[in-house]
Amino acid sequence: MGHMPAEPINPPPRLLMGPGPINADPRVLRAMSAQLVGQYDPAMTAYMNETMELYRGVFRTSNEATLLVDGTSRAGIEAALVSLLEPGDIVLVPIFGRFGHLLREIAERAQADVRVIEREWGTVFTPGEIEAAIIEHKPKVLAVVHGDTSTTVAQPLDELGAICQRHGVLLYSDTTASLAGNTFETDEWGLDVVTAGLQKCLGGPSGSAPITMSPAAVEVINSRKSIEAGIRSEGDAVSAHPIRSNYFDLSQILDYWGPKRLNHHTEATSMLYGARECARLLVKEGIPNAVERHRLHGGAMVAGLDAMGFRLFGDQSVRMNNVVGVYIPDGIDGDAARAAMLNDFGIEIGTSFGPLHGKVWRIGVMGYNTRRDAVLTTLATLEQVLRAGGVPITAGSGVGAAVDFYG
Amino acid sequence: MGHMPAEPINPPPRLLMGPGPINADPRVLRAMSAQLVGQYDPAMTAYMNETMELYRGVFRTSNEATLLVDGTSRAGIEAALVSLLEPGDIVLVPIFGRFGHLLREIAERAQADVRVIEREWGTVFTPGEIEAAIIEHKPKVLAVVHGDTSTTVAQPLDELGAICQRHGVLLYSDTTASLAGNTFETDEWGLDVVTAGLQKCLGGPSGSAPITMSPAAVEVINSRKSIEAGIRSEGDAVSAHPIRSNYFDLSQILDYWGPKRLNHHTEATSMLYGARECARLLVKEGIPNAVERHRLHGGAMVAGLDAMGFRLFGDQSVRMNNVVGVYIPDGIDGDAARAAMLNDFGIEIGTSFGPLHGKVWRIGVMGYNTRRDAVLTTLATLEQVLRAGGVPITAGSGVGAAVDFYG
């Protein structure tokens, strides 16, 4: 118990142009500053219902079972996997980056029988490769990351729903890094469960995980339902093979968000206010417009980086709109240059994990930071830092190319 | 995909005098409205370190391992139990209300061998009863709720640490409802793991779960450590009996909050800002002063309710300072009267769970609402509602008795 004279929160101003978290939209922070209401206040349950409807718009689905898991994006992933998978169930995880490894890890801890196929970071699978693995492993669930921020590329999913349906497999995808910045169609593509987070293209802070579940997924999940002992009535469900977590028991969380309003956790009201505002702004803009916004500003960033001489990382044909990987130029100390960006200009760009660490920077253009001024300022300051590090760059090349891209 | 014209968040003004959540301190909401910084920004890691130190002050401990779990209070409970308990481990849960049932449920889902002792709601156990059960069941962990909001009473814990130490048992307690409103001494009482939430006496919104762990608890938890596959280096820990959750793996969360800064989830920055401010205000006030504040205003509320003729629920000698249960007067429809309080006066009081539902209201005086005006307004309006329902009450009796209590 020290004697620290802690001061009120007063963070330095930062322009966050890494792979996320990024700056929250000020409108989202304002929504979160609203005072609380009770858990079952009619105003609160109305906000919960509106949040469900708004996220149907964001996920592009008519799934009734669309709600928030109270935790960061990986809380949503774990809720999906532990609610779908029983010990011994076979799950197939195509791994093409760090977050594929995370899906594997979470499924292993749920004691599922995890089968993986792996690809080099920066590449993705063909639908045929995935179908072949489904035929070989006969999984109950195919669990696949959409956009893996660790590699900047997104696995095309548009053909996987039909493949899964053909083989009687449930399709789960983690869209934390990609949703609202890249085309994603839950219903049209045949996804069964989709999870996300707020801290990337949705323009909010980390801490709430939107999720949507198809009727088929809900049936599997509800078959494991056990009503909590402390609030159980006679005749209430008690499963012989319950979900191995209370906090992530989606059957209970569904009863809390549904008409029964059966108490589970105490909803994280401020995070719900924020999550609702993220979705409200996106639905108002129109999801296709939001995707186009990310394509435009992400494209301008790539044009600028390319003109400055950066070599791009990964298969560019499947790169997400909202993040690009670039090889760190020879002779540049990646961490020192990132520190100079932060200390001299207040701008954060991202490092990388695993095999890319020390070799690749990741630069994000997403959510509130999909702005011309954010893109141009990042390029202008990066030019200064690289030149100071001895990299020969034509003055103004990055900004000029981005301006040209905007046209 | 409907066509709802969703409006910005604009909740009705409410005075929340139920068992929680209660109104957040406006200073906490202001802290949460601050803009984000990057996950490894020196400003962010400094805030994380300060938050750890501040919660050592709140928990009254010198435990290095003091941090936040990103979720509601039950996320903290589940993190504690799944990180401590392996399948088959014996855990003893004394149950005296709904949240004891929750500890049992969470431990059962973790496949622990759960032994329970039960008491009637509104009462608590003697230390001797708990020691006898420890001797009978020989648990690895004693998991006990401190204050169970469902019954308003708190299990005295001051003798349990010594008992547990004598029998080689780890002592875990959930203090969501009680912390900072009632005396609680992690180190002096010999607690090994303690969890909490923000939405009661801490004066914040639900969504972040402070936790502290003794060196003995950390040793047990770290013996199960496995570094996440996607960021594992050669020689890194891989356990043969890993924690059965990734999100709640406290050994990984410790590495994220510790000097290694090993990536786990993306910290919920806005919730951290809020949690830090809750603790900062309390540490500045002094924890004993905060407890006294709850005793004073909670006592005034009880004096007022008593003078109005309410019969109090539960063993008053062990009632929490911050919440009181009262029997709903004969002839009053509990839910209709609560609705009148909300609709006519904007004041929320609480209903009850399980055996107390329909019989007992719970009225809270905690956190930001430990105020003379909040207490007196609640008593004044409750008088109106009861009189309208036909209950004979001496005009001004409740407010008068509370004013007298304040002296």
Q: Which residues contact B263 (CB under 8 A, 6 or more apart)?
A: A353, B39, B231, B256
Tell whether B18 lies on the interface with A, counting CB pairs under 8 A: yes
Q: Quick one: pLDDT at residue B406?
A: 98
Distance of CA A309 to the CA centre of its chain: 30
A-chain residues near B269 (CB < 8 A): 21, 205-207
Q: Say whether B246 and A109 touch across the interface (CB within 8 A).
A: yes
Q: Which of A227, A246, A258, A110 is nearest to B75 (CA)?
A: A246
End-to-end CA distance of chain A: 59
Q: Say whether A53 and B4 touch across the interface (CB within 8 A).
A: yes
ipTM comes to 0.97
Query: What percentage of chain B has pLDDT greater than the value 70?
Result: 99
Tell me, letter by letter, the H, E, C secondary structure of chain B: CCCCCCCCCCCCCCEECCCCCCCCCHHHHHHHCCCCCCCCCHHHHHHHHHHHHHHHHHHCCCCCEEEEECCCHHHHHHHHHHHHCCCCCEEEEEECCHHHHHHHHHHHHCCCEEEEEECCCCCCCCHHHHHHHHHHHCCCEEEEECEECCCCEECCCCCHHHHHHHHCCEEEEECCCCECCECCCHHHHCCCEEECCCCCCCCCCCCCEEEEECHHHHHHHHCCCCCCHHHCCCCCCCCCCCCCCCCCCHHHHHHHHCCCCCCCCCCCHHHHHHHHHHHHHHHHHCHHHHHHHHHHHHHHHHHHHHHCCCCECCCHHHECCCEEEEECCCCCCHHHHHHHHHHHHCEECECCCHHHCCCEEEEECCHHHCCHHHHHHHHHHHHHHHHHCCCCCCCCHHHHHHHHHHC
Residue B173 neighbours by CB distance under 10 Å: 29
Tell whether A56 lies on the interface with B, counting CB pairs under 8 A: yes
Q: Which of A37, A12, A16, A39 is nearest to A206 (CA)?
A: A16
pLDDT band at B4 (very low <50, low <70, confident <90, very high): low
Q: Say whether A21 and B36 touch across the interface (CB within 8 A).
A: yes
Compute the distance between CA of residue B319 and CA of residue A75 in angstroms, rounded to an integer. 35
Q: Quick one: pLDDT at residue A3?
A: 52
Q: Are the beta carbons of A29 and A208 closer than 8 angstroms?
A: no
Q: Say whether B245 and A24 touch across the interface (CB within 8 A).
A: no
Residues 120-159 of B with CB under 8 A from A: 150
Tell whether B357 lies on the interface with A, counting CB pairs under 8 A: no
Q: Which amino acid, B289?
A: N
Q: Quick one: pLDDT at residue B237?
A: 76
Q: Quick one: pLDDT at residue B234?
A: 76
* Mean pLDDT of each 10-residue bin along chain A, 407 residues long: 74 97 98 97 97 98 98 98 98 97 96 97 98 98 97 98 98 98 98 98 98 98 86 77 95 96 94 98 98 98 98 98 98 96 98 92 98 98 97 96 97
Mean pLDDT of chain B: 96
Q: Say whether B35 and A78 touch across the interface (CB within 8 A).
A: no
Tell whether A35 lies on the interface with B, counting CB pairs under 8 A: yes
B-chain residues near A100 (CB < 8 A): 230
Q: Which of A297, A291, A289, A295 is nearest to A378 (CA)?
A: A297
**pTM greater than 0.90 (yes/no):** yes
Residue from A10, A32, A36 to probe the interface with B (highest B Cβ count within 10 Å) = A36
Q: Quick one: pLDDT at residue A187?
A: 98
Residues 232-251 of B with CB under 8 A from A: 242-249
Q: Say whether A70 and B73 touch across the interface (CB within 8 A).
A: no
Confidence check: pLDDT of B12 > 50? yes
Confidence check: pLDDT of B254 > 80? yes
Q: Say whether B73 and A21 touch across the interface (CB within 8 A).
A: no
Confidence check: pLDDT of B293 > 70? yes
Q: Quick one: pLDDT at residue B281?
A: 98
Compute the distance between CA of residue B276 and CA of residue B41 in angstroms, rounded to an integer. 17
Distance from CA of B318 to the nearest CA of A (A): 21
Query: What percentage of chain B has pLDDT greater than the value 90?
Result: 93
Distance from CA of A92 to the nearest CA of B (A): 16
Q: Say whether B24 and A270 touch across the interface (CB within 8 A).
A: yes
Nearest CA in chain A to B95: A230
Tell whether B76 lies on the interface with A, counting CB pairs under 8 A: no
Compute the distance between CA of residue B164 and CA of residue B397 in angstroms, rounded to an integer. 47
Burial group, residue B235, by CB count within 10 angstroms (0-12, 13-18, 19+) = exposed
pLDDT in tens, B58-98: 999 999 999 999 999 999 999 999 999 999 999 999 999 99
Q: Quick one: pLDDT at residue B1?
A: 45
